Chain A
Amino acid sequence: MCFSAFEILYHGIAGSFIISGTAALFQKKWAGLCFGFLATALSVFGVGLIILEAGRPPLFGHYEIITQSVFIISLLALLEQRSWHRHRLRFLSPVTTRLWLLCAFLMCVLYFFPKTVNADFYMYSRIAVMTFFNFRISAGAFFLVAAIHFYSGFFQGGTDLPPSAFLHKGRNFLLIGTICFLISECSGSYWCLIWWGDTWHWSKGFLKAASLFMLVMLSFHVPGKWKLPKAFHWVICCMPGMGSLWLLLMH
């Protein structure tokens, strides 16, 4: 059996995330951290290999999307652990643990898809097209990170920190995701303009993106005066993450 460099890297990244996620789940701090670092480093190589092979950043197709997403998510998982360390908390952050488990899940999903770069459509050479696809992947990754923060705000995993510590970070990542999403949509509108002559199209892709944007806006506009169960807020705030996961996997 002959494995390509993409397949070898895939197995390395997937294995490292499964081990780091499982170790973190059982609070095996050093094993979790070592394999978390290894998985992040390998996902950097994964993104680098795509750039080297295709001559462009990750844009389209399950392999490219998931590799870039886990790269961003795992980097933020390590940054979260760093800020956790500053609080002198000796165990692993529940956010880091859940982000590693999310990466492991995404890599398991990727098992069922070809581990190779997407066909190099000629339009991918345009900056507007690259920006559209790449920022959309980044937006999805930030929405997922925000969803994990919101989830951790309500299900804190044994910590005695106030929920606001997680919720404010979640709100920040949701906003960063929104910036990435708007950059992607703005360049997508420009791409549409030079390809089809107009900035908007009544088509599946545009309607999907607009629905996702409604979910993002919804999470920022829950009426404060409503006395709703916490679970309702949690579901609303996690919806952009869930929506982008669906969009990334079912494109």
Chain B
Amino acid sequence: MIKKLASVTWTFWSLIFLFGLLSLGVALTFIKPYSKSIRLISEQLPLDWLLKFHGNDGVVLVWFLLTCLIGGVLFINLLCCTGLRLVAVLKNKKMPRQWLFIVLHGMFAVVMLCHGLAMVMGCKHSNIRLWPGEHRAFEGGYAVALSHVEFKDQMDMLKADYQARRSLMTRKSFHPEKNYAFITFTQNEELIVSGAISMLNPLVTNGKRVTLTDFLYDEAKAAPVGISLVIVESPLTAVFFMSYIFLILSLTGFVIYTWKPSQ
């Protein structure tokens, strides 16, 4: 049974199906209602999205579940294949080429596992829109408060739509370090972290990450510049990047070692 699960035929068909499903996902993002539903998956933990699913969009739900299922099949295939090869290498010749091959597949398994676990572990709160003086509370006793915003560049770029901003927010006209917000992040009224936060410079503490995703503009408010935040708790981020780097290194070693065709 394990031999069957470890076969390259399984790998091939899993990859074909996964390619088909991911391409279907790309196609769905071109259709507005589906694109909106797919975007919703990223605004929270995928497990929370699944549990709170209201049945408005069955197509995206089926597509998401099938993608996860085939991803899971590929992962089991990868584990079985790597395990069998490992046993074979331990019994027979201990060639560096074989070891690199196993490490490379092992690291890929860790990357896949991190992707999978990141969908069910931790928490994610997106699209938290705050203006100075406002605060927001979440499940688990978490709360975030915004004391004030410093925006020193031209405010016209904040009034533009998302696409136009790309050409307006150039290196010359927008300076992330000059534009920041002061926030306080608490759990059950106990301070977790507080300080200045700017674009691409999140506040990070004990696996919790507060990220400023955008500056907002609303003329109706007393202080017109606000912020949009994302709060994420993800315990596997460091493991994910470490295994990714080892995957690249082991693949590089494998390429160097097998550069010349074996006789």
Contact = CB atoms under 8 A, between A and B. Distances in A.
A56 B210 CA distance: 29
A159 interface: no
Interface in A136-195: 164, 168, 172, 175-176, 178-179, 182-183, 185-186, 189-190, 193-195
Contacts of A7: none
Interface stretch (B16-24, B138-146, B188-196): B16-24
- The CB with the most chain B CB atoms within 10 A, among A185, A201, A217, is that of A217
Interface in B19-60: 19, 22-23, 25-26, 29-30, 35, 38-39, 41-42, 46
Interface stretch (B5-13, B90-98, B129-137, B217-225): B5-13
Contacts of B19: 211, 214-215, 218
Judged by DSSP, the binding face of A is helix
Given A182-B248, A208-B26, A222-B12, A202 B38 contact: yes
A200 interface: yes
B206 interface: no
Given A119-B167, A193-B237, A214-B15, A207 B29 contact: yes
Contact of B252 (A179, A210, A223): A179
A164 B12 contact: no
Interface in B235-263: 237, 240-241, 244-245, 247-248, 251-252, 254-255, 259, 261
A198 B234 contact: yes
Interface residues of A, number: 47
Contacts of B201: 194
Name the prevailing secondary structure of the B interface residues.
helix
Nearest to B15: A218
Interface of A: 55, 119-126, 164, 168, 172, 175-176, 178-179, 182-183, 185-186, 189-190, 193-204, 207-208, 210-211, 214-215, 217-218, 221-224, 226
Contact of B211 (A190, A194, A208): A194
B65 interface: no
B172 A120 contact: yes
Contact of B174 (A122, A195, A211): A122
Contacts of A190: 241
Given A195-B211, A202-B38, A218-B12, A189 B22 contact: no
Nearest to B124: A198
B230 A189 contact: no
A121 B169 contact: yes
Contacts of B42: 196, 198, 200-203
B202 interface: yes
In order of increasing CB-CB distance, the 6 nearest A-B pairs are A197-B211, A197-B230, A214-B19, A211-B22, A204-B29, A119-B167
Given A168-B261, A203-B38, A217-B15, 19 more contacts: A121-B171, A122-B174, A123-B200, A175-B251, A182-B251, A183-B248, A189-B240, A189-B244, A194-B200, A194-B211, A195-B199, A195-B211, A197-B202, A198-B232, A211-B26, A214-B19, A217-B11, A221-B15, A224-B8
B23 to A, nearest CB: 5
B255 A175 contact: yes
Contacts of A119: 166-167, 170
B38 to A, nearest CB: 5
Contact of A199 (B35, B39, B41, B118): B118
A125 B210 CA distance: 22
A201 B38 CA distance: 9
Contacts of B231: 197
A121 B171 CA distance: 6
A120 to B, nearest CB: 5
Contacts of B252: 179
Given A197-B230, A203-B38, A207-B29, A186 B255 contact: no
A102 B11 CA distance: 32
